[in-house]
Amino acid sequence: MNNKRVVRIVAIVLALIMLISILYGAIGTLTARAVTQSEIDRLKEEKRQVEQRKREIQARINTIEFEKLSEIAKKSVLDERIILTGQEIENIRETIELYSVLISEKELEVIAAQNREDAQLALYRRRVRDLEENGVISYLEILFDSTSFIDLLARLDFVSDIMQADERTYYDLIAARQETEDAKSDLLQTKAEIEQEEVLLEERETELLEQLDEANAIIEALEADADRERELYAGESAEADRMQREINSLVEKLRREQEERRLREADRVRGSGDLTWPTPGYNTITSEFGNRMHPVYREMRRHYGIDIHAPHGARVVAADSGTVITSSYNSSYGHYIVISHGSNKLGNNVTTLYAHLSSRNVSAGTTVTRGETIGRVGSTGVSTGPHLHFEVSINGSRVNPRRYL
């Protein structure tokens, strides 16, 4: 009988050891990929700062001074608000991703806590069953079997230890049950938080579309007025020429610097001459390079690149490896980036230009590799909808990008 009892106890201990090992393994997995609250707090602080900047811009828009600005200047202010809304959307999406990981971790925590509770409950039930079978009689037998007063005191201590162990088993069960309830509560709270973020994301995406419509209406109104539209086109053309002169000057400056310092780095960042598509997944050209007839004024207009349709926020990548020589903003091109690819099989002083961006990920002087994300599609500057204006220049002259993509 005693041997059977020993075997039962050993089996229970081994089962508990295996359970603990499994639980520690699960906890180790959680720790390896755990999302910390500080990451979510950081994103929330970034969102708070963006919201503050949005409020400041909206206050500017609501003032009389805003009404006195030129239409192009108004568009620039609205572009800034759109960019901040886009940043807020990216922030919310990242927060939702972190919450999704956190929910997976919380679900594992609930399972681990429930397993611990079940194991503790099984242990408690076994002890209750033993008490029902033996109970007080066993304690009395232990005491009555004492051979002396000293032996009786020792047996009293032994019985007391058993009773305390039984009490600890009970309280351990209560603690395990509370741990399970806490884990379930944390899980429900996290799910409620991600639902709030998803509602906020939907609101901000709707807000972005409304802001894009408001900004686009300014350009559409300008284009609807013949005199003002011609003035706008003249300004765009002059700006495009000025930018090309600036690009040529920067290319020459970069060439001289590399030549003077004889940097091996120059060879590393020189483009291959094989241009990749600058908007991965989106290859519809809505406006071609070259002269085109204006549908209303029946005048030939010059288009210095190609317009590629893509949704707001889509990735824009470097068409080839090179060095960023301009990362800036102006009223015509909005946010734009120019990359110098050096001299390669396409010709001398090859550059690419990416315009109307909603955000820029690189600054002047940065070296980029072919296919690296440099910004996001937008509708900043003189633009009536999200798209990428893409230009290619060889030896100081703009050429048709289609021939090289």
Whether residue 260 has pLDDT greater than 60: no
Q: What total number of domains does the chain contain?
A: 2
Among the candidates 221, 242, 269, a domain finishes at 221
Structure confidence at residue 153 as a pLDDT band (50, 70, 90): low
Helix locations, 134-225, DSSP H: 135-144, 149-224
With respect to residue 28, please indicate whether it lies within any of the assigned structural domains: no
**pLDDT digit string, tens, across residues 306-348:** 999 999 999 999 999 999 989 999 888 999 999 999 888 888 8
Tokens of 275: 């241009």
Mean pLDDT of 120-146: 59
pTM: 0.60
Which range has the worst mean pLDDT, 128-142, 220-234, 352-366? 128-142
Mean pLDDT of 364-384: 91
Mean pLDDT of 378-399: 91
- CA 218, CA 129: separation in Å to the nearest integer? 82
Helix, strand, or coil (residue 289): coil
Q: Could you give the count of Cα atoms lying within 13 Å of 213 in the half-sphere of its Cβ?
A: 6
The candidate with the shortest Cα–Cα distance to 75, out of 85, 83, 87, is 83
Read off φ and ψ for residue 286, nearest 5 degrees. Answer: -100, -15
Q: To which residue do tokens 């350009």 refer? A: 219
Whether residue 264 has pLDDT greater than 60: no
340, containing H or E segment: strand 334-340
Answer yes or no: do 300 and 381 share one domain: yes
DSSP category for residue 402 = G
Answer yes or no: do 216 and 236 share one domain: no
Burial 27-44 (b: 16+ CB within 10 A, else e): eeebeeeebeeeebeebe
Mean pLDDT of 98-126: 79
Read off φ and ψ for residue 316, nearest 5 degrees. Answer: -120, 130
- pLDDT score for 297: 45
- CA 81, CA 44: separation in Å to the nearest integer? 19
Answer yes or no: do 295 and 155 share one domain: no
- CA 86, CA 97: separation in Å to the nearest integer? 17
Answer yes or no: do 197 and 83 share one domain: yes
Give the count of beta carbons closer than 10 Å to the beta carbon of residue 100.
13
> Domain range for residue 375?
230-404
Structure confidence at residue 141 as a pLDDT band (50, 70, 90): low
- Whether 354 and 388 have beta carbons less than 8 Å apart is answered as yes
Higher pLDDT, 32 or 230: 230
Answer yes or no: do 244 and 385 share one domain: yes
Average pLDDT, the chain: 76
Answer yes or no: do 207 and 247 share one domain: no
With respect to residue 255, please indicate whether it lies within any of the assigned structural domains: yes
Structure confidence at residue 293 as a pLDDT band (50, 70, 90): low
Report the DSSP beta bridge partners of residue 351: 340, 393
With respect to residue 22, please indicate whether it lies within any of the assigned structural domains: no
Answer yes or no: do 166 and 302 share one domain: no
Mean pLDDT of 6-25: 42
The candidate with the shortest Cα–Cα distance to 103, out of 35, 161, 5, is 35
CATH code of 320's domain: 2.70.70.10
Answer yes or no: do 346 and 248 share one domain: yes
Answer yes or no: do 215 and 119 share one domain: yes
Helix, strand, or coil (residue 227): helix
What does each C-alpha distance from 169 to 11, 161, 173, 271 come to in angstroms?
A: 18, 12, 6, 71
Higher pLDDT, 22 or 279: 279
With respect to residue 20, please indicate whether it lies within any of the assigned structural domains: no
- CA 216, CA 385: separation in Å to the nearest integer? 7
Answer yes or no: do 396 and 265 share one domain: yes
- pLDDT score for 249: 75
With respect to residue 257, please indicate whether it lies within any of the assigned structural domains: yes
- Position 133: which residue type? E
With respect to residue 138, please indicate whether it lies within any of the assigned structural domains: yes
- CA 164, CA 157: separation in Å to the nearest integer? 10
- Whether 402 and 278 have beta carbons less than 8 Å apart is answered as no
Structure confidence at residue 178 as a pLDDT band (50, 70, 90): confident
CATH code of 121's domain: 1.10.287
Among the candidates 191, 221, 251, a domain finishes at 221
With respect to residue 197, please indicate whether it lies within any of the assigned structural domains: yes
Answer yes or no: do 50 and 81 share one domain: yes
Among the candidates 197, 221, 245, a domain finishes at 221
With respect to residue 120, please indicate whether it lies within any of the assigned structural domains: yes
Answer yes or no: do 212 and 265 share one domain: no
Helix, strand, or coil (residue 360): strand
- CA 330, CA 392: separation in Å to the nearest integer? 19
